[in-house]
Amino acid sequence: VELDRKNGFALIKCFNCQLTDTVEITSSDEAVDAYAKFFDMYIGE
């Protein structure tokens, strides 16, 4: 997980399947928050 707080997004790369995507983050989000958003996008929560 790479956080780009200046531009308000995080880049997430899955180590197992190589899936890569970005999610919007807030200034208070941490890497775990960004990963949870990414996970929810693909699981459908």
Q: Would you state the pLDDT for residue 13? A: 93
Q: What's the whole-number mean pLDDT along residues 16-34?
A: 95
Q: Could you tell me the pLDDT band of residue 11, with boundaries at 50, 70 and 90?
A: very high
Q: What is the mean predicted confidence (pLDDT) over 20-39? A: 95
Mean predicted confidence (pLDDT) in 24-42: 94
Q: Where are the alpha helices (DSSP H) in the chain?
A: 31-43
Residue 33: per-residue pLDDT: 97
Do 19 and 1 form a contact (C-beta atoms < 8 A)?
A: no
Q: Which two tokens stand for residue 43?
A: 């699981």
Domain residue ranges in the chain:
2-43
Residue 22 is given by DSSP the state E
Q: What is the pTM of this model?
A: 0.81
